[in-house]
Structure 1
Amino acid sequence: MPPPPPPPCPFPSRDAFYVHLLRSCASLRHAAAVHGHIARAHPAASLFLRNSLLAAYCRLVGPFPARRLLDEMPRRNAVSFNLLIDAYSREGLVSLSLETFVRARRAGVEVDRFSYSSALAACSRAGDLWAGKAVHAVAVLDGLSNGVFVSNSLISMYARCGEMGEASRVFHVAKERDDISWNSLISGFVRAGSRQEMVRVFAMMRRCGMGLNSFALGSVIKCCSGRGDGAMDIAEAVHGCVVKAGLEPDVFLVSAMIDMYAKKGALIESVVLFRSVKEPNVVVFNTMIAGLCRTETAVGKEVASAALTLYSEVQIRGMQPTEFTFSSVLQACNLAGYFEYGKQIHGQVLKHNFQGDDFIGSALIDLYFNSGSMEDGFRCFRSSPKHDIVTWTAVISGCVQNELFEKALSLFHESLGAGLKPDIFTISSVTNACASLAVARAGEQIQCFATKSGFNRFTAVGNSCVHMYARSGDVGAASRRFREMESRDVVSWSAVISTHAQHGCARDALHFFNEMVDAKVVPNEITFLGVLTACSHGGLVDEGLRYYEIMTKEYGLSPTIRHCTCVVDLLGRAGRLADAEAFINNSYFHADPVVWRSLLASCRIHGDLERGQLVAHRIMELEPTSSASYVILYNMYLDAGELSLASKTRDLMKQRGVKKEPGLSWIELKCGVHSFVAGDKTHPESNAVYTKLALMLSKIEKLSITNTDISRREQNFMNCHSEKLAVAFGMLHLPQSAPIRIMKNLRVCRDCHFTMKLLSKSENREIILRDPIRFHHFRDGSCSCADYW
């Protein structure tokens, strides 16, 4: 019986055997071993085998070793060059990819459609429009530009370079189109934000009888996610197309539609769609959780709680949460203020070993900073395995939120020292820190950095700069920065209106508001707060009441405690104390001490001691531990000459353990920020400061008007108030032409306000003083507030 025939060889040829080995190689060492065997055993290897070896090198080690192999090949064809062109393209080396393309043509190799596709892909990845047009021209000369393969590559290249006009032209002149042609054009319009053009192409695609697929519908849904006129109608129409095409079970499309409705604020539709999915996976759950936490919607505690409930459902179903799950759930904890729950989620993050994720790390930092757990926030930051700009920005903004402004600036400089490039959120946060400190010099340096980095064109950065200059007392620079902004939103307009309101430029503030309305920008609560503040500081009572009515009736905005306080201040400053009291009693905030305190300040201005006593006692009942009402009442008694009642008020403060917040003033110079408190002797230059102050006060002594009932001790103390010490320090160090900018944490007293007017005249200097209420610009013996403050 003859032996059985040998089993058939799995590789019909020698080349196929080597090709199989090369495709199985997982490292350069294995490929080099196969290469060595081929070189020894088969020095005259076929072109097919050499191309396979070239493909292995391109896949494992990149284009540069592969190029040496290509140079050594005795024969080369289009496949050989295409492999290297594509390898350079994937590495983003456009010039070398095109150089190889040109080299193939010069070598007489007949390049094919794959050569053009790889070259165009390189131009597309680098956004090199000029090189892409050059390749397009050569494709036209070779007669390959109208083929579906090359035309699709051209459409994609032009779309990625932002030239949708050229992409459309290539699409329309193409002799043949497929699904990729339509999808490339649609996704290009989506990327460009051209919703109308996208809808037009999508409708044309349907009229041409092209079948719908998840890629095209996904691109359309993404474009529908933005807000705008008719966007909801388009979204619902696309949803109908998904249902008609029978693609509802597609997880990718369902997730995209849930996200689309959530971004539009249509949470009910989003939840209904989510619940219609029979077996949702973790991706669908992630999309729904993130949708509930989107800042585009009016997220309240109930909505954020729903997101946390979904996370519990993920655990009940035994699904494996992803990094995206945890980042969204932590955001829900931040929005709802469920910090203890967030700490439990932190434990889950550690359990799943996701603490190294950038977004999770920044969400944890936000969680602890929002809860006031500063040490835990810093600990999360330090324990993060990778400190990128996202985590740095989170900790910087957390410091700003918790009023650690110096620490925020220090961390910003530290991040620059670590070689990190800040983004617009970093710049915006650190600029807000400069604004809160009113350190204009540091803020100007940040703005210069933003300009050099190209961030100055972003609206958020421009808004922060306007706010910074306004808080630093430079209303002119704030206005110039506002005018330089390429695009302005409601925050921009509100900032410039509030700037002029705080600086006493009431008419200018109202002018900006009218400009805003003409520009079709809808004002919000913050805008009207600035308008009402301007009217209050400018004594424009009728205008202020009219704008308050416009806010509630024309724009349907509900007044907040701050709006009502502005109206009370508006009426009270004008002497209409009875109207102000009636307004409080008829408002929703009649039990809030803030509005009554505003009325109490007006009672002191107009010397209405009887009403002031009643208002003060009411405030003390509502807020017995706040020092502000006691201090106002004490000063009111002093103004009226009721020294015994003033003394009783001071004794009452001591009995109740109420302590007055110490006044603090500061000034920024080149050498840093210098702070002073009343009677301060701790400053290194205190002797020189007091000598300068005494000299300045002696010049204006004859003009000074002080209450003769105040004791000499109290008068001496008032002469050592913190703002006076800061002004004396500024006089010592600043040149004659430079304005002296002083910031104070408490409202300036009458004596200091009067003294500043006299000093601006006697010293021939401009003095800018910021207190919590407004700015005072003292020039030539007068103040910008016209003594209406």
Structure 2
Amino acid sequence: MPPPPPAFASMDVWYLHLLRSCAAPWHVAAVHAHIVRSHPAASVFLRNSLLAAYCRLVGPLPARALLDEMPRRNAVSFNLLIDAYSRAGHTDLSLGTFAWALASGIKVDRFTYAATLAACSRAGDVRTGKAVHALAVVDGISRGVFVSNSLISMYARCGKMDEARRVFEVAVEHDDVSWNSLISGYVRAGQYQEMLSVFGLMRRRGMGLNSFALGSVIKCCSCGGDIGGHVAEAVHGCVVKAGLDSDVFLASAMIDMYAKKGVLGNAVALFKSVQEPNVIVFNAMIAGFCRDEAAVDKEVMREALNLYSELQSRGIKPTEFTFSSVIRACNLAGELEFGKQLHGQVLKHSSHGDDFIGSALIDLYSNSGCLEDGYRCFRSLHKEDIVTWTSLITGCVQNERFEEALRLFQELLCYGLKPDLFTISSVMNACASLAVARIGEQIQSLATKSGFDRFTVMGNSCIHMYARSGDVDAATQRFLEMESRDVVSWSAVISSHAQHGSARDALHTFYDMMDAKVAPNEITFLGVLTACSHGGLVDEGLRYYEIMSKEYGLSPTIKHCTCVVDLLGRAGRLADAEAFIRDSMFHDDPVVWRSLLASCRIHGEMERGQLVADRIMELEPSSSASYVILYNMYLEAGELSLATKTRDLMKERGVRKEPGLSWIELRSEVHSFVAGGKSHPDSNAIYAKLAEMLSRIERSAITDNVSTESNDISSREQNLMGCHSEKLAVAFGRIRLPQSAPIRVMKNLRVCRDCHSTMKLLSRSENREIILRDAIRFHHFRGGSCSCGDYW
């Protein structure tokens, strides 16, 4: 330590210079020791300087010990400790120090109030803040610009904008901080119209504009959904008039503002006008391209990728936000290869551990069908961010790996993480696809405990889950309990009624939707057309198909056209169905022709069915569904040779039929069955129970034409038909479930005629309801009849 200057009067200045040059706690301790030894009668100024160094480098707790040792203290001493406690997050200690200062008789000043109000602001403690406000009023300094600004900031950060506005109005003076605090407070509270009113008042009083105030206004225009584009353009004009249009911070904010308002052209023009854009400006423009994925096409997404190439050519180093935005653009544009190259650059920049980048990569790989690559990205990340878990769970659902989605969700809970609304919604969709209602109910209970049940998206997921699990009553009840319903809610319950054969209920719900002034979308009309098709309501279905485009401007998709073909075909109007296909824009799609082929099979139209089958095999020679329909059509018509020829043709072309699979959920466990399978641990009891049930049908002489339908079928196929997967699942449910419980079985393929007839007979002989979901619809078997009316 250098020797002190000879003049004793400059001793404090010399120590102050030393304390300001300290860069580590031990530096402060060394100077402190020197002061104690050489200058025991140090002035209050020097002791406060030492206290400030302790607060800056050592910490507020050692600083408190130093304050206790000080023989004399003033307001500055307490101000330093109040501020230090506040910055360290010790709000109670900060406010306690303020009370200590008052009790000590110290004459507190405006800085004391400012530091104390800052502590209240950080803690969101508006009650104590009001008490401090009252003391400032008593001391007569509450209306001064310094304290009033602190009060405005405190009330604004606590969300009390009415109090903040009152303080602002009674203040004797306003400066830039006053206006900025009030404006940013309104933005933070989401009171955008009030903010614009204050901004207009600020301009009328001739206050100069700075980047902070304009930044808050621009953020307001970005977030305020009811603030039009003309307001955004007016704010842009203010920026130019203030000469701040070259400010890259404001430029990036305005680009984001225009993109959120859907005025992408203005955003692009503004980006091009920036002379030296930095990475923040590039990030804003790239993110702007990806802002509204429903309103932009793949070409716009590729513009975002071109921007990234330009960023690299300028030698600008990308940030984590850059990578996450560009990877999202790759996802929206379907550019998997570009995304893989970006993944390599992410690894090169050591950014692969970033959760946002990881989530974007998982979404990219999942949407491209490369789920294993998504898993690898997931394993490289920390397991503490719920967003990455949600991305992978959603990816599993999109790739129809529903069991893995449920397993991941269980693993997530074991990590102690709290799922968010989107996580639970994705898992509910997995439950819906697997039709595991009991697991879905448990997840719904978790959503209720977490407070997510009030959200519309959660209600929609519950409706979908219950409907797909065969409980249409629970789906309808959940719909009625929802506080807020959107078009998805109405569409889900309409589709639920349609899939369960309640065509009239579906149409009545659609009428209620119209009365509620909710505009239908493509999904809504798909549910309506499905209901008409399953209910045989031909004229109504054709009318809804027509008004869909004429009254609502919705373009029919392949699914809508397939519904119309199915509608006409089931009603026996095969010629009309064929003419509809040939006149539609989907005349080269095998899906619509396959629907017509199924109708030919129902009505025994052999000649037309053969021609339709030839057309399908020309368009899609490797699809097994067409061969199976044709095979069954020949079989039911007694044309065994043609059926055999069709089966041989499948073998010749290497076409494999998807194996039939049925499953049933019991006590949150899923039991799967295949035709003739014996892998289930209770297979002996299941086959015995099935034989007993079928025997009871025969003994009761309640027989259908099963035997006649099977005359031309080989003995092996007859044996398999007798133990089809859905029959095994029903037998297992008969063993495990109580008499009062319905048996709910799910199947991946369409139910065959034999099983459909058998289920009707079993529902009567066993005196219980059987609910079967196949690939087309739900069948509710009660008392020997089916809800489809044999019209499926």
Whether 1:581 aligns to 2:578 is yes
Match of 1:445 in 2: 442
Bigger CA drift: 61-70 or 200-209?
A: 61-70
Distance in 2 (alpha carbons) for counterparts of 1:753 and 1:11: 107
Question: Deviation of residue 562 (structure 1)?
Answer: 1.0
- Asked if the contact 1:466–1:478 (Cα under 8 Å) also holds between the matched residues in 2, the reply is yes
Aligned length: 784
Report the secondary structure of 1:247's partner residue: coil
- What's the counterpart of residue 93 of structure 2? 96
The CA distance in 2 between the partners of 1:384 and 1:452, in whole Å, is 29
Q: Which letter does structure 2 place at the counterpart of 1:390?
A: V
Question: Is the aligned partner of 1:334 residue 2:337?
Answer: no
CA 1:298–1:415 in 2, change beyond 3 Å: closer, same or farther? same
How far apart, in 1, do the equivalents of 2:41 and 2:606 lie?
111
- Going from structure 1 to structure 2, the CA distance change for 1:241 and 1:695 (only over 3 Å counts) comes to same
From 171, 185, 188, the counterpart of 2:185: 188
Which SS does the other structure have where 1:30 is aligned?
helix
When normalised by structure 1's length, the TM-score is 0.93
- Give, in whole Å, the separation in 2 of the partners of 1:735 and 1:66: 73
Secondary structure of residue in 1 paired with 2:771 = strand
Residue 736 (structure 1) aligned to one of 736, 739, 746:
739
* Separation (CA, whole Å) in 1 of partners of 2:329 and 2:156: 37
Structure 1 196/683 Cα, relative in aligned 2: closer, same or farther at 3 Å?
Answer: same
Give the corresponding residue for 1:704: 703
Distance 2:267 2:585 in 1: 35
Task: Describe how 1:217-616 pairs up with structure 2 within 5 A.
Answer: 217-226=214-223, 228-229=225-226, 231-296=228-293, 298-384=295-381, 387-616=384-613
SS of residue matched to 1:676: strand
Whether 2:782 is the aligned partner of 1:779: answer yes
CA distance in 2: counterparts of 1:62 and 1:758, whole angstroms:
82
Q: 2:724 is matched with which residue?
A: 721
| TM-score of the superposed pair, with normalisation by structure 2 | 0.93
Cα 1:435–1:53 change in 2 (3 A) is farther
Alpha-carbon contact 2:764-2:784 (below 8 Å) kept: yes
Letter in 1 for 2:612: V
Unpaired stretches in structure 1, ≥5 consecutive residues? 1-5
| Comparing 745-754 and 522-531, the one that deviates more | 522-531
Looking at structure 1, the residues matched to 293 and 194 of structure 2 have their Cα atoms a distance apart, in angstroms, of 25
1:676 corresponds in structure 2 to 673
Residue number among 188, 196, 200 corresponding to 2:197 in the alignment: 200
Q: Do structure 1's residue 666 and structure 2's residue 685 form an aligned pair?
A: no
Q: Secondary structure at the match of 1:708?
A: helix
SS of the equivalent of 2:363 reads helix
Q: 1:517, 1:58 → 2: CA distance?
A: 66
**TM-superposed deviation, 1:41:** 2.9
Distance 1:525 1:427 in 2: 25
**Structure 1 stretch 601-610 or stretch 620-629: which is displaced more?**
601-610
Give the drift of 1:61: 4.4
SS at match of 1:13: helix
Q: In structure 1, the residue corresponding to 2:671 is in which secondary structure?
A: strand
Amino acid at match of 1:84: L
8 Å CA contact retained: 1:361, 1:384: yes
Which shifted more, 693-702 or 496-505? 496-505
Q: In the alignment, what sits opposite 2:52?
A: 55
**SS of alignment partner, residue 700 of structure 1:** helix
- The answer on whether the counterparts of 1:226 and 1:264 sit within 8 Å (CA) in structure 2 is no
What are the Cα deviations for residues 189-216 of structure 1, in whole angstroms up to 9, with x where unaligned? 2223333222222222222222222222
For the 8 Å contact 1:358–1:386, the answer to whether it is kept is no
Query: How far apart, in 2, do the equivalents of 1:50 and 1:506 lie?
Result: 86
Cα distance in 2, alignment partners of residues 283 and 440 from structure 1: 47
Tell me, what secondary structure is at the counterpart of 1:589? coil
698 and 288 in structure 1: CA distance in 2 versus 1, 3 angstrom threshold: same
Structure 1 position 288, deviation (Å): 0.7
Quick check: 1:211 aligned with 2:208? yes
Letter of the aligned partner of 2:295 in structure 1? A
Alpha-carbon distance, 1:359 to partner:
1.1
2:355 is matched by which residue type in structure 1?
D
For the residues of structure 1 that align with 2:440 and 2:8, how far apart are their CA atoms? 72
**Separation in 2 of the partners of 1:130 and 1:779?**
65
User: Residues 603 and 17 from structure 1, CA distance in 2 versus in 1: closer, same or farther, beyond 3 angstroms?
Assistant: farther
Tell me whether 1:750 sits opposite 2:753 in the alignment. yes
Calculate percent identity across the aligned residue pairs. 77
In the other structure, the counterpart of 1:160 is 157
Conserved 8 A contact 2:572-2:603: yes
1:746-782: CA deviations, max 9, x gaps?
A: 1112222222223223223232222222222233333
Separation in 2, partners of 1:248, 1:100: 46
Alignment deviations for residues 34-64 of structure 1 (CA, whole Å, 9 cap, x no partner): 3333333333333233333333333334433
Query: Judging changes above 3 Å, is the alpha-carbon distance between structure 1 residues 480 and 358 closer, same or farther for their aligned structure 2 residues?
Result: same
1:51-78 Cα deviation digits (max 9, x unpaired): 3333333333443333333333333333
Find the aligned partners of 2:193 and 2:391 in 1 and give their Cα distance: 37
Per-residue CA distance 1:376-402 (angstroms, 9 max, x = gap):
322222223565223222222222222
| Distance in 2 of aligned mates of 1:326 and 1:760 | 59
Query: Contact 1:596 / 1:615 at 8 angstroms: preserved in 2?
Result: yes
Given residue 676 of structure 1, which amino acid in structure 2 is its aligned partner?
F
Relative distance call for 1:682 and 1:439 in structure 2 (3 A) is same
Contact 2:149 2:181 in 1 (8 A): yes
CA RMSD of aligned residues (A): 2.6
Select between 268-277 and 204-213 the one with higher mean Cα deviation.
204-213
* Structure 2 unmatched runs, 5+: none
User: Displacement, 1:683?
Assistant: 0.8
CA shift, 1:668, in A, is 1.5
Residue 440 (structure 1) shift: 1.8
CA distance change for structure 1 residues 115 and 445 in 2, over 3 Å: closer, same or farther? farther
Tell me if the contact between 1:263 and 1:296 (Cα under 8 Å) persists in the aligned partners.
no
Residue 454 of structure 1 aligns to which amino acid in structure 2?
Answer: G
| 1:262–1:297 contact (8 Å) kept in structure 2 | no
Give 1:122's aligned amino acid.
A
- Please tell me whether the aligned partners of residues 66 and 84 of structure 1 are also in contact (alpha carbons under 8 angstroms): yes
Deviations, residues 386-433 of structure 1 (Å, cap 9, x unaligned): 652232222222222222222222222222222333322322222222
CA contact (8 A) 1:692 1:728 kept: yes
CA distance in 1, matches of 2:356, 2:172: 47
Distance in 1 between residues matched to 2:601 and 2:626, nearest whole Å: 11
1:72-127 deviation digits (Å, cap 9, x = unpaired): 33333333333333333334443333333333222322333333333333333333
